[in-house]
Amino acid sequence: MRRLFLAFVLVVIAFIVSSCLKDDAPTIEFHALRIVDADVPESFTFNGRYEITVTYVRPDDCTHFEVFDVVQKDTTIREVVAIGSMFVDRQCAQVATEQQESFLFEVKYDQPYLFRFWQGTDANGEPTFLDIEVPVE
């Protein structure tokens, strides 16, 4: 019984101490960034590795590129989304700038690849894409 009481007291003290701590960590949200262009080779070689350079729009100076989300939708169809992080509780200059980042792609199939680069959504809320097909030689 004494151990149970001691455990209860320790939990209450931990709760009180943790509720007094101030959380100064910035609030970060992740957003898809609009892709405006992609530099893709005219053709691929089977089993080759290629650097694909993507131009995206950075909407403000609080948004920073994090990663590409490359999703395999079918055997040789890839949807590519640029993901950025944004500090939501800071004042930001609302100046859109175009930036570039690259990712490596390995050709594993001998069929043409279709890359679908996310460009935003249309008036109906449907995603729009920049489609680029690359043959494999």
0.85 exceeded by the pTM? Answer: no
Beta bridge partner(s), residue 63:
86
Which stretches of the chain score pLDDT less than 70?
Answer: 1-24
DSSP string, 25-60: PPPEEEEEE-EEEEE--S-B-TT-EEEEEEEEEE-S
Rounded Cα distance between 60 and 86, Å, is 9
Count Cα atoms within 13 angstroms, Cβ side, for 81: 13
Give the percent of the chain with pLDDT over 70.
Answer: 82
| CB contact at 8 A, 104 and 50 | yes
Q: What is the pLDDT of residue 49?
A: 98
| CB contact at 8 A, 63 and 85 | yes
Q: What is the pLDDT of residue 52?
A: 98
| CB contact at 8 A, 26 and 90 | yes
pLDDT tens-digit profile of 79-106? Answer: 999 999 998 888 888 899 999 999 999 9
Instruction: Please report, for the chain, the start and end positions of each structural domain, with discontinuous segments joined by +.
Output: 25-134
Q: What is the pLDDT of residue 133?
A: 98
What are the phi and psi torsion angles at 122 (to 5°)?
A: -85, -175
Q: What is the DSSP letter of 136?
A: B
Runs of H (alpha helix) within the chain: 2-20
Residue in this structure with the two tokens 């930001």, named with its chain if needed: 92
